[in-house]
Amino acid sequence: MANLPGFQILSEKTLHHAADPRLITYCPSMDLLALVTTDQQVFIYRMNGQRVYGAIQKADKLGVESIRWKPNGQLLAIAWSDGYVRLVSTESSKIVLQFSAGDNVGGVTCMGWAMCLIHRSSPSSSKKRIESWGSFLAMDGGLSDEKVPLDLPQDLSLVDIEISLPKLSVLAAAGNSDDVFSSRSSLDALFRPFDPKDNSSVNVMVVGTKEGNIHLSIYDSFEIGSFVSPVIVDGSPCYLVRHASHQNVSTHALLMRPSKSDGSLYLVPMDLRFISASSEYISLLASRSTALNNLLRYIHQVQVLMVSEWKSTQDLPSRFLRNINETLAEKDSNRDIVQALYHSVATGHTFPAVRKWLVDELSERGHKRWDKAVTAGLENLRRLVHENMLPALERCSIILSRFLGIVKFQGSNSSMGFTTQQINLIMDTVACLHLVSSKILIQVVDELELFSSFSAWLRHEIDRLASESSSTNVEAEKESSLDHSKVLLYLQTVMTSSPLATFFGEAPSVGEGEQSWNHSMHGLPMFELLDKELQKQERGLPYLQELPRVNSLCKFLEQQAHTIFDQIAEAEKRNVLFGKPQSVGLVELDGPIDVRMSIIVSDQFFFKKHLTYLKNNHVSQTHIAFVPKGSSGVVHVVRAPFSIENGVSSRQGISSSAIQLGTGQIRDIKFLDDTCLLVLWELEGTARLLSIYYNSTDMEHSLNYAPHSGNASVSESLSNKEVLERFSQYRIPGDGSFVPGKIEIREQDVGQSHEDARRLCLLSKNMVHYKIAKFGATGELFYRQGLRLTFM
C-alpha cells in the first residue's frame, strides 16, 4: 500500500452548512466547484475556497434539484423545483437566461448538458480543405485547384458584422430578472459574437421532469420542445435519472426509472437527427435565434424604461396644472392655465389667480422640481432611444438579414421552418420601430429646446412677480434673453398635449387596435401604412392610434419572432427519435449510478484516417455502472453497443459483468474515462478508491462480460485482500479522520493537458468538508490528440 500512487491535494474547505451529495459538480474548463447546501443555497467556489457566487432559494418551498456546467464552463445551469432552469454566468455571477422545462412541471429529476460535433462531408472534387474565407484571402499566389474555397456561401454567412458595431449600452436596474442588462460584464456574456468555430458543434441541454417528460434545448436557451416519456411501466411514465453522450455522435443515452419505483432501470437511446440530417446552418440559426431572443428582451426592457421616463415628464407637471385649472374653474373663468400663461407671455399682464399660483403655490421650489422632472426625463428618453433602442434595432436587422440570406440560398423547399415572406414581415416591423424611434428622438430634442425656453421664462416670471421692487434695466436685460416665440410654441403644442403621447399614451379601444394589425395579419407590410398614419397625425387628421405605439410594435415584433422560433424548433423536433427501451436491472433507490458513452474504432482504421473518421456510420457503446438492489458490495457494469447510421441508432446486443467486492460497501461510482471506473469502497470505516478497467482488452484484470440477463448474478466474487491487490491503485491522503462519502470528477478538456486538467473532489461523509486533488500520472490511459478512444 505504501507504494500506491496518491493524489496531490490542491485545496480543501469546510462548509458552514452540509452539502447535498447529489448536487455537486466541477467546472470542465476552470477550477470552480459548484454545490448546493441542504438549506438550498447555491455556491460557486474557487480553488482557494473563495466564494464566486451565492444564491438562496427563491421561495419557502422552492429548492434546487439539479445543477450542470456548460461544456465550455461559461455558464452554470440551476434547475429549481418550479421547473425553471436559470443560467448563471461565471463572469458576471448574474442570471443571464432562464426558461421553463414545460407547463405545470412538478420538478426536475435530471439535467444534462453536452456538446455534439457536426460532421460535414467535403466535396470529392476538393483536394484541400480551406478552413475559412479569411484563410483563403490570407494565402499568397493565384487561384489554383487546391486553393478554391469549397463553400463560399457558408463562409459568407459566417462573416460576423456585429463585432464591428459598438457594444450595446447598459440599462438602469429595474428590479426584475432582466437586471442582467445593468452591468457591462453580464451584457458581454449575453451578447457574445458568433464564433465560426462554433459552427461545427451544437450544445444540447436535456432536462427530465418528474412527470417523465424530456425537454430539449440548444445554444443555451433555444428550446426544441418537450417530449413525453418514451418508457411506460404499468401505465405510469418513467422519469430521467441519468444522461450520457459523446461529442462525435448525435445519439444520447437516457437512463430512466418508474415513478412507482421498484428499482427498475431502463436504457433508452435518443437520436438527435437534427444534428446529423438537418441544414448545415443549424448552428448559425440556433445561435442567432438565441441572440435575437436576447435582443428582444433587451428591446422590451428599453421600451419599459422609455415609457417610465416619459411618464415621469408628465406626472408632476400634470398635478401642478390640474390644481391651477381647478382654481380657475372655481372663479368662473372661461380660460385654462395654457390660455392664461399665453396671455402673460404675449402682454406681460398676469391674472391675479395665476399670479397667486406662481408666487405662493408653485414658487421657486416647485419650479425646480418641475424643471428637474421634465429635463431629466427627456434627456434620459433621448439617451435610451439614441444609445439603446436604435443600436438594438440595427443588430436585429443584421440577424434577420442573415436569416433571409440563408433561406434564399436554401430555397423555399428547405426544412428550416420559415420562409422569406415571414422574415420580410419581421424586418418590416423592425423598420417600423426604427421609424417610430427616429420620430421620438426628433420630438424629444425639440421638446427639450422648447421646454428650456419655457422654464427660463417661468422662472423669470416667478422672480418678477415675487419681488416688490426691481431695477427696470435688470428686468429689461433678463427679458431680452428670453425667446418668447419658443415659449408660445411650447404652450401651444407641448404643455398639455405632447406629441410624444402618440407613441407612449394610453391604448385605444380594442376594436381600433385590432384594425391596426389586420394589415400585417394578412401578410402585408406595415411600414408604408405607418408612415401615412404619422403624416395624418402631424397634420391633425384622424389616424390609427394603436399603430405608432412603441409597446404595441414591440409586442407584435415579439409575436412574429417567436412564431419563427417555434417553427424552427418544430422542424428540429420532428428529427428527434427515441429507441426501444432496454431493461438494465434493479438498482438501489438512492444507490450510486453512472453512465458513459464511448466510440468503438479499430487501430487500423484510426491510423489510416487519423481524425477524419465518424462521417456516416458509427459504433458507440454505453456503459452503465450501478449497485444492484440488495447488494451494497456488488458493482454491476452493463455494456450496450449501438450502431448509428445516418443519425439513427440500432442496438447490437447487451452484456454485463458483476463483481462482488469483498465485504465492503460501495459508497460511490464514477467513470474516470473510456477505460477506467472509479469506485469509492469502504471497509471497516476506511475508504479506498478502487480503479476498475471496464473497457480495455489491453489491460490486465479487465472485466469479463457475458450476455445480459434480468438478474444481477455475480460473475466473480473477490475477497477483501484480492480487491485491494487487484483494484486499489490510488491512496486517499489524510490521517484517517477524513472519510470521503462522495466523489466528483472533472474530466479532461480537449484543449488542456491531461496531466494538469483532471480534478477529483472528495466530499466527506458528514458533507461539510471537501478536498480537491489532482491525479498522479498513471501512464495507463490512452490519449490521442485529446480524444479518448476504445480500441477493438
Q: How many C-beta atoms lie closer than 10 Å to residue 745's C-beta?
A: 18
Task: Give the separation between CA 288 and CA 85, rounded to whole angstroms.
Answer: 21
At 518, the pLDDT band (50, 70, 90 cuts) reads low
Model pLDDT for residues 248-271, shown as the tens digit of each residue: 889 999 999 998 777 889 999 999
Name, in order, each residue with C-beta under 8 angstroms of 667's C-beta and a sequence gap of 6 or more.
Answer: 592, 680, 681, 682, 687, 740, 741, 742
Structure confidence at residue 44 (pLDDT): 94
Place of cell 433571409: 404
* Mean pLDDT value of segment 425-441: 96
Task: Give the separation between CA 683 and CA 686, rounded to whole angstroms.
Answer: 5
3-state SS track over 559-624: HHHHHHHHHHHHHHHCCEEECCCEEEEEECCCCCEEEEEEEEECHHHHHHHCCCCCCCEEEEEEEE
What domains are defined for the chain?
7-124+200-275+580-791 (2.130.10.10), 292-505+549-573 (no CATH)
At 641, the pLDDT band (50, 70, 90 cuts) reads very high
Model pLDDT for residues 675-717, shown as the tens digit of each residue: 889 999 988 888 888 989 888 765 566 788 888 886 667 888 8
The winner for highest mean pLDDT among 110-124, 311-325, 514-528 is 311-325
pTM, two decimals, is 0.83
Q: Is the confidence at residue 37, as pLDDT, over 90?
A: yes
Q: Is the model more confident about 630 or about 556?
A: 556
Handedness of CA 779, 781, 784, 787 (dihedral sign): negative
Model pLDDT for residues 574-615, shown as the tens digit of each residue: 889 999 999 999 998 888 999 999 988 654 444 344 334 444
- For 144-152, which contacts have Cβ atoms below 8 Å and span 24 or more sequence positions? 150/122, 150/123, 150/126
At 1, the pLDDT band (50, 70, 90 cuts) reads very low
* Mean pLDDT value of segment 316-332: 88
What backbone phi and psi angles, to 5 degrees, belong to 425? -70, -40
Rounded to the nearest 5 percent, the helix, strand and coil shares of the chain are: 35, 30, 35
Lowest mean pLDDT of 123-127, 271-275, 586-590, name the range.
123-127
Burial of 720 (0-12, 13-18, 19+ CB in 10 A): middle
Q: How far is CA 242 from CA 20, 651, 653, 758, in A?
A: 17, 19, 21, 22
Q: Under DSSP, is residue 67 helix (H, G, I), strand (E, B) or coil?
A: strand
Burial of 710 (0-12, 13-18, 19+ CB in 10 A): exposed
At 501, the pLDDT band (50, 70, 90 cuts) reads very high
Structure confidence at residue 413 (pLDDT): 54
* Mean pLDDT value of segment 70-91: 90
Model pLDDT for residues 141-179, shown as the tens digit of each residue: 444 444 545 666 667 766 777 777 888 999 987 655 557
Structure confidence at residue 792 (pLDDT): 34
Model pLDDT for residues 742-781, shown as the tens digit of each residue: 999 986 655 554 556 678 899 999 999 999 988 765 433 3
* Mean pLDDT value of segment 266-282: 83
Q: How many C-beta atoms lie closer than 10 Å to residue 240's C-beta?
A: 27
Q: Under DSSP, is residue 56 helix (H, G, I), strand (E, B) or coil?
A: coil
First vs last Cα of the chain: how many Å apart?
Answer: 33
**Which run of H or of E encompasses 740?**
strand 740-746
Identify the CA nearest to 626 among candidates 578, 583, 687, 684: 583
* Mean pLDDT value of segment 451-468: 89
Q: Under DSSP, is residue 759 helix (H, G, I), strand (E, B) or coil?
A: strand
Q: Output the average pLDDT for the chain.
A: 83
Task: Give the separation between CA 187 and CA 302, rounded to whole angstroms.
Answer: 14
What backbone phi and psi angles, to 5 degrees, belong to 369? -65, -40
Alpha-carbon Rg for the chain in angstroms: 34
Burial of 298 (0-12, 13-18, 19+ CB in 10 A): buried
Name, in order, each residue with C-beta under 8 angstroms of 36's C-beta and a sequence gap of 6 or more.
Answer: 19, 20, 23, 24, 42, 43, 64, 67
Contact 593, 265 (CB under 8 A): yes
Burial of 49 (0-12, 13-18, 19+ CB in 10 A): middle
